[in-house]
Chains A and B, each alone.
Chain A
Amino acid sequence: MRANELLLSGSDLSFSRGGQLLLDKVEIAIHRDEIITVIGPNGAGKTTLVRILLGLLKPSQGSVISELGLKIGYVPQRLQMDPVLPMSVERFLKTAGRFSAQAMREALLEVGADRVLDCPISEVSGGEFQRIMLARAILRKPDLLILDEPTQGVDLGGQAELYQLISRLRDRYHCGVLMVSHDLHLVMAASDSVLCLNQHVCCSGRPEAISQHPEYLRLIGDTVGPGLAVYSHEHDHSHDIHGNIHNLDESKEEEHG
């Protein structure tokens, strides 16, 4: 495992459907230990790009190169579990592979969702479900996490907490992270690199730089109004899944104990 090794890259990626160009010559590279976030308006082609990178969709042009044997942990957008399928959270985790009971408990503990191990998966809340999806992804010991709108259906406080969790997972597992997101300010604070997409790559770089970039301001900045800069701050405490406040030292002990 080399730090900063190139995990997955796409070059000159274009995709069109029904004569409509959805992606136009997109370049993207994801490295280990890096959190890269794709932002952009609705219909910008964010999910299309993710699906191409995952190999679920063939690009009309361009190519995707991944490191040999790259293991991807994927959290798709809006996954809904139908209650007609009786399945506990534990059984749900097992659909991703064979894991020991202890590995599953640890993974759930890691994401702060250990209390729902025996709950039916169709009855957990939106925030818990996203945490379970992250647990499912890390159980596979991935080199790369690909998360499509990981905070959907999660309230604002929960969103910040979830982004911190993603950062922590990156630090702990030394994986690369590719996220697609709508909540600009929260996500930009949690990213190393931002790629602003509107069919083509409008701009990309460090979040602080992007938030001042004229293309970004033209595309997105206007809609959120002036004066909103990147929300970058340090936390001296964290919230657990139920919104209770822990201070960070304590929660760290909890993680490793």
Chain B
Amino acid sequence: MDDFIWRALIAGLVVAAVAGPLGTFVVWRRMAYFGDSLSHSALLGIALGILTGVNTTLSLLLVCLGIAVLVVWMESRQRLSHDTLLGIFAHSSLSLGLVALSLIQGLRIDLMAYLFGDILAVTGTELYWIMAGGAGVLLVLLMIWRPLLALTVNEDLAQVEGVRVDLMRLLFMLLMALVVAVAIKLVGVLLITSLLIIPAAVARRFSRSPEQMALLAALAGGVSVIGGMWVSLQWDTPTGPSIVVVASLLFFMVNLGWGTHRVS
């Protein structure tokens, strides 16, 4: 196999290993739409990075975090519901990103690569960044696992029991922003959320504990990456969407195909 395929495969597996466990929290905390808002705003971050000459990964992280904080702040002040607000943020930031990119003079970028990912084009340097970012996310997630789980059970209860709820929520958003930054190369801003929630949804069926579900989600993500890349190379289909298609197939096979037996 060529080098670029190895690089793509390793990058994909790293992203799957990170997105799986983090995605279980997205599913438990019902934050799928929140993930969409974050990942859609990533494009705005990239545009701002190019405009200001700042490193695009850094500007992406800052914009994602900014959006996250803005959502939380506006929620406490608005009569609109959670999903309405998130929908507004997701689509307005995506549109703003597209508009901003079109305004940059003389810029020739592959928009499709940002929207749907271009894992086969990952360079050696990018691979190191993905590995470093992924390791960082996993490390922090491991450190805050118990308090984050307590928070997921009930925030009031966690706070009374001494968990620093606001700090944990902020850290969780930071982790999500980091995953978006890491996964953007793989599946693009439009499909990142699927990488968080589909493997977790597949894993739920076979899990008896939170930890088991996190590990199985990473595994389901890895299988999707390998399967998706194989499909992509075999039939020359776009890699990012192929990975998501394989993940979805896994989900439907697990939930529709094999009877109604449920492990709880």
B-binding residues in A (CB < 8 A) = 51, 54-56, 72, 74, 76, 79, 81-88, 91-92, 95-97, 120, 122-123, 140, 146
Contacts and interface: CB of A to CB of B under 8 A. Distances in A.
A84 B27 contact: yes
Nearest to A98: B146
Smallest CB-CB A-B distances: 9 pairs = A74-B160, A86-B207, A95-B150, A120-B264, A85-B28, A76-B156, A95-B153, A54-B160, A95-B149
Contacts of A56: 156, 159-160
Interface of B: 27-28, 146, 149-150, 152-154, 156-157, 159-161, 204, 207-210, 212-213, 264
B157 A74 contact: yes
Contacts of A74: 156-157, 160-161
Contacts of B153: 79, 81, 85, 92, 95
Chain B contact residues, majority secondary structure: helix
Contacts of B154: 76, 79
B24 to A, nearest CB: 9
Which of B27, B153, B204 has the largest number of chain A CB atoms within 10 A?
B153
B182 to A, nearest CB: 25
Given A74-B156, A96-B161, A91 B209 contact: yes
Nearest to A51: B156
A74 B27 CA distance: 26
Contact of B208 (A81, A86, A122): A86
A55 B210 CA distance: 29
Contacts of B157: 74, 76, 79
Nearest to B212: A86
Nearest to B152: A85
A95 B148 CA distance: 9
13 contacts: A55-B159, A56-B156, A76-B157, A82-B28, A83-B264, A84-B204, A86-B209, A88-B208, A95-B146, A96-B161, A122-B264, A123-B264, A140-B161
